[in-house]
Amino acid sequence: MFRGNHPAKVEESGRLKLPTAFKDLIDQAGITQFYVTSPDGKSAEIWPVDRWEEQEAQLLEYGTMNEQVQNYLNITGYYGQQLKMDGQGRMVIPQILRGAAALEGDVVVLGKISHLEVYNRVRFEQTVVGEALKNVNKNAIADMLKKPRQAGDR
């Protein structure tokens, strides 16, 4: 559903105006509720609530007492908030997450199929773009695309 890079800005108030390409997809799908969080504080993940709930259901299969599940839920809960987008396609990124990920001014909004990720533009260009895909990673992705997914794969 979500793909590509659409630059945007985070206002001083912490509001992100979603790029038109993503807002149009969201409007067409009738999505009104979002869960905004991060697994590491380096970027913001914007999930349609129904997709986030699917992910939570998958985690529940491992049990709420599983240490990895607890750690993931703790960190995504710490950074996370459920919110609505306003009529102009804006949403406020939670303050704790904005500070940790330096989400102010120019940002990169990337489509990640099921959700959006928002990065500080300068940091993203210095780390991710600067690294690019190594040949080993390209080969691994090529293998994944050729091989049908098995029932137990995650």
pLDDT digits (tens, 9 = 90+) for 92-149: 999 999 999 999 999 999 999 899 999 999 998 888 766 665 555 666 767 777 766 5
Cα–Cα dist 59/90, whole Å: 30
The reported pLDDT for the residue numbered 35 is 97
CB contact at 8 A, 109 and 7: yes
pLDDT for position 65:
77
Domains and CATH numbers, the chain: 2-120 (3.40.1550.20)
Within 10 angstroms of residue 109's Cβ, the number of other Cβ atoms is: 23
Q: Which of 124, 90, 126, 120 is nearest to 13 (CA)?
A: 90
Q: Output the pTM of the full model.
A: 0.83
Containing H/E element for 144?
helix 135-146
Nearest to 5 by CA among 103, 124, 135: 124
Q: What is the mean pLDDT of the chain?
A: 87
